[in-house]
Structure 1
């Protein structure tokens, strides 16, 4: 369980100050004190979702799981968009299906706060190399087909600050991107590389595209926030031209299906990815193990895939 800085103010100075004491106690792993202080905050500001969330997370660490779930559900009722990531806690406590753990509101809040330091942290601290791996895979595929690495129309799913467009600069005619985070899109816009940028979820964005309009669809390190990839795969297949390419990276695990990891990200199995690709009608050109970033200094297992319509 971890706290998020997305809590805003309760509107009561005394409650806010006590909430900060509760956060400090939680960070010091004094969960009993954190729970006691969180209850005091709730007495002062009953509608403060972050205090209910902190109470639930503290109780989850000290034992009374039923009370923890009640507190977390109360917080979710007060903050239904789930910027606080409450669904992840509820899934870990068995009160919610893992596939419903990561809400759009959580991802949006996470990356809105992350945007100013995103590129530096990702590339310098986490050793992120997803765009480079994708470009290298596309070069291999194009070399096999004896044609240049150039795509007239490309779509960048979960484009973030535009790292993918920068890595592919000069290899596409036009590229459009979509992301949940408005602040990430502001940074992508500054690159001047996108013909269009759209704020929203991947699937509705794809649904709104014309059939067979794209030569390339990219999803770099975005599927870690999606459990069910079937709608995205189906719509991607529809919007690609015959022979068009779908390239993506995912986090992986050695079992079956999809799991919610301790890092609050989804990991997909090789079997489920291959079956989904074949069911939708893709031809698998590249399917290989790859680590695109690190976690606490250790490579995170994943797959790099290139599919063709």
Structure 2
């Protein structure tokens, strides 16, 4: 069968324009015409899957997403995630790394504008408020590791209060944006569950803002962070609360974690809970998204890290406390 990618692309553009006009039936018809021009273009299958889902044609949507996944097994478009949300495949313990990398590489140029202006994102500020009372007491120089650093929004908030910040992110384009700010000593494109040797192993603080929600099983990331902290080092991170044990995937394609599972992972990874609060992380479709902001310490030895103090406040296990 002959293939004409250029014709398929033109037809798909028309289909998307019709979708923007809420003419879903016409959009599907033109997208199918695009597919007839090039049946091996995975993007058309993905777009058709999305259109079928919007039109409540579940079985057609499942078939389209399956075709997309068959044509792109590394799943850069996230077809398996859509199949998961449709109940057609089993839930995995993380989002596909290639999908997350491609998503944020594409997102990088408009990332900060979208988060700050569109979603009113305040994760970095919530992280800072949660850990601020401990910052003056941490021994210097205070080296910080920013997991899932993105374009450096966390560094924007923390840079004036710590001595060194290193960052790691899956997306090279996000790393490039962060590097341009000049606030990081070292930036590495890598997976936060498998941190490279080029990063230190004596950080006093690890930050993870809006990144652990792309993982279902938090164990690998928490163990990797623990291995890079000094004894008694602190970690502060955000999560979205879930009611299904141990986790489920929300409609926003982010994992939500059950409280009991979170505490189990922390115990297994030798973290002690210091603070567990809630706050509004962002707006999504005009509605506030509440998340957990947790501060934990690595194993024993907090007195070695906190100058002149041998204990910290008791953990707050309630999620009713709100960080402002």
Which interval holds the TM-score relative to the shorter structure?
A: 0.7 to 0.9
Asked if residue 226 in structure 1 is aligned to residue 219 in structure 2, the reply is no
Flag structure 1 segments of 5+ consecutive residues without an equivalent: 1-9
**Closer, same or farther in 2 for the Cα pair 1:29/1:297, shift >3 Å?**
closer
User: Structure 2 CA distance, aligned partners of 1:172 and 1:178?
Assistant: 17
* CA shift for structure 1 position 302: 0.8
Asked if residue 204 in structure 1 is aligned to residue 197 in structure 2, the reply is no
**Closer, same or farther in 2 for the Cα pair 1:67/1:127, shift >3 Å?**
closer
User: Structure 2 CA distance, aligned partners of 1:217 and 1:76?
Assistant: 35
* CA shift for structure 1 position 185: 0.9
For residue 237 of structure 2, what is the aligned residue in structure 1? 248
User: Structure 1 CA distance, aligned partners of 2:247 and 2:141?
Assistant: 32
Residues 4 and 37 in structure 2, CA contact (< 8 A), matched pair in contact too = no
**Closer, same or farther in 2 for the Cα pair 1:252/1:277, shift >3 Å?**
same
For residue 308 of structure 1, what is the aligned residue in structure 2? 297
**Closer, same or farther in 2 for the Cα pair 1:38/1:180, shift >3 Å?**
same
Structure 1, 132-141 or 198-207: larger mean CA deviation: 198-207
Q: Per-residue CA shift, 1:64-122, capped at 9, x if unaligned?
A: 53343222111112223323221221112212223357322222222222222222221
For residue 18 of structure 2, what is the aligned residue in structure 1? 25
State the TM-score, normalized to the length of structure 2: 0.83
Q: Secondary structure at the match of 2:27?
A: helix
Flag structure 2 segments of 5+ consecutive residues without an equivalent: 299-324
For residue 7 of structure 1, what is the aligned residue in structure 2? none
User: Structure 1 CA distance, aligned partners of 2:180 and 2:296?
Assistant: 30
For residue 59 of structure 2, what is the aligned residue in structure 1? 66
**Closer, same or farther in 2 for the Cα pair 1:229/1:207, shift >3 Å?**
farther
* CA shift for structure 1 position 247: 0.8
Structure 1, 297-306 or 90-99: larger mean CA deviation: 90-99
User: Structure 2 CA distance, aligned partners of 1:19 and 1:305?
Assistant: 44
* CA shift for structure 1 position 279: 2.1
State the TM-score, normalized to the length of structure 1: 0.87
For residue 193 of structure 1, what is the aligned residue in structure 2? 183
User: Structure 2 CA distance, aligned partners of 1:122 and 1:42?
Assistant: 34
Structure 1, 11-20 or 232-241: larger mean CA deviation: 11-20
For residue 112 of structure 2, what is the aligned residue in structure 1? 119
For residue 5 of structure 1, what is the aligned residue in structure 2? none
Structure 1, 86-95 or 35-44: larger mean CA deviation: 35-44
User: Structure 1 CA distance, aligned partners of 2:128 and 2:32?
Assistant: 52
User: Structure 2 CA distance, aligned partners of 1:51 and 1:168?
Assistant: 43
User: Structure 2 CA distance, aligned partners of 1:54 and 1:148?
Assistant: 50
Asked if residue 89 in structure 1 is aligned to residue 82 in structure 2, the reply is yes
Residues 94 and 214 in structure 2, CA contact (< 8 A), matched pair in contact too = no
Q: CA RMSD in A?
A: 2.3
Aligned length: 296
User: Structure 2 CA distance, aligned partners of 1:101 and 1:216?
Assistant: 24
For residue 309 of structure 2, what is the aligned residue in structure 1? none
User: Structure 2 CA distance, aligned partners of 1:102 and 1:25?
Assistant: 30
**Closer, same or farther in 2 for the Cα pair 1:150/1:271, shift >3 Å?**
farther
